[in-house]
Every structure is written in structure tokens, then in C-alpha cells.
Amino acid sequence: MSALSELTEHYGSAITRMAYLQLGDAHAAEDVAQETLLAAWDGVHRTRPDTALWPWLLGITYNHCRKHWRSVTRRRRREQTADHLCKKHRDSVHVEQSAIRLETTRKALSSLSPKLRIVILLRYFEGLSIRETADALDLPQGTVKRRCHVAIEKLRELINEVPS
């Protein structure tokens, strides 16, 4: 049996358990255990004959766990930054689209005749009822309804003419 196999057999599950207790992730703990065993194998020349093997392996395990956490933290930070930038972009696109719709509506309203425009403004921007609009303009309710209908149809035509 090779020395690496012996090291893995004697300490592999204990190292994996220690990594799991630090990381709380079984897959990451297995990766850290493998990295620890390979690092121990590669670094054996730095030990002395009186080096206590288990504490030395725990130190390597701890360092690899810290390395893993730093990596996870950096990845999460990058993902959060990317999410924030995407959200900011979506918000700016939404604001831009809202501004375009608002400007299109404003231009369409300004192209209506004053009689049609005032009915729309009172009904839909001020929230007046048919009766309240009729009273404010000193018109019959039927006239207000007809002007609203005509104005809305013209607005639809004008807004649909504008390329999106």
C-alpha cells in the first residue's frame, strides 16, 4: 500500500468530517479533504521527524476551508453585483419605456381638439365622474360620454401610429 493510500485510509474520513463541521456542505467537505491530502502529500518535505501528523493535517484542512469560504464569498459577491446591475438595467429600461409612453400620450393628448382634451383630462386625469364632468363643463351627460368615446378612439389611433 502506498503512503498516500495509507494516509487517506487513516485520516481521510476524519479530515472530511472536520471540513464538513467547518463548511456545512458535504460536497465541499469532500473536495477540501482531497485538497488537504494532496497538499499534505506535496508538503511532506516541509515536516520534521517530530511533527505531529494529525495537528498538521488539521492545519492544512483549516487553511483549505478558509480558502473555500473566500472563494464562495467572492462568487456570491460577484453574483450579487451582477444581479444588482441587471436589476438596475431593467429598472432603467422600464423608466425609459415609461418616459416614452408618457411622452407619446402627452403628444397624443396635445393633438386633440380642446373640447375633447378637456373631457379626457377631467375624466381620467382628475378622476371626475360623467355627471361631475358634465356639471363642470355645463354640458349634457350624453355629450360628455360621446366626447370621451371619440377622444379615446383618436388617442388609440395616435398612440398606435407611433413606432415602439
In a domain, 127, yes or no: yes
47 vs 129, more confident: 129
- Of the two residues 6 and 118, the one the predictor is more confident about is 118
Q: Which residues contact 22 (CB under 8 A, 6 or more apart)?
A: 29, 61, 62, 65
Q: Rounded to whole angstroms, how far apart are CA atoms 30 and 15?
A: 9
Instruction: Report the C-alpha gap between 108 and 113 in whole angstroms.
Output: 11
What is the reported pLDDT for 162? 54
How far apart are the C-alpha atoms of 128 and 119, rounded to whole Å?
Answer: 10
7 and 78 in a single domain? The answer is: yes
Residue 89 resides in a domain:
no
DSSP state of 112: S
C-alpha grid cell, residue 85: 446591475
The pLDDT score that the predictor gives to residue 90 is: 76
- Identify the band that residue 125 occupies on the pLDDT scale cut at 50, 70 and 90: confident
Residue-wise pLDDT for 50-89, tens only, equals 878 888 888 999 999 999 999 989 988 888 888 887 777 7
Range of the domain at 10: 3-82
Q: What is the CATH number of the domain that holds 123?
A: 1.10.10.10
Residue 132 — very low, low, confident or very high, per pLDDT cuts 50/70/90? very high
Name residue, grid cell 441587471. Answer: 86
pLDDT at position 131 over 90: yes
How deeply is 37 buried, as exposed, middle or buried, from its count of CB atoms within 10 A (0-12, 13-18, 19+)? buried
Total domains in the fold of the chain: 2
Same domain, 72 and 122: no
Instruction: CATH number of the domain at 32, please.
Output: 1.10.1740.10
Residue type, 62: Y
The verdict on residue 143 lying in a domain is: yes
* 52 in a structural domain: yes
30 within domain boundaries: yes
pLDDT bucket at 143, cuts 50 / 70 / 90: very high
Does residue 45 belong to any structural domain of this protein? yes
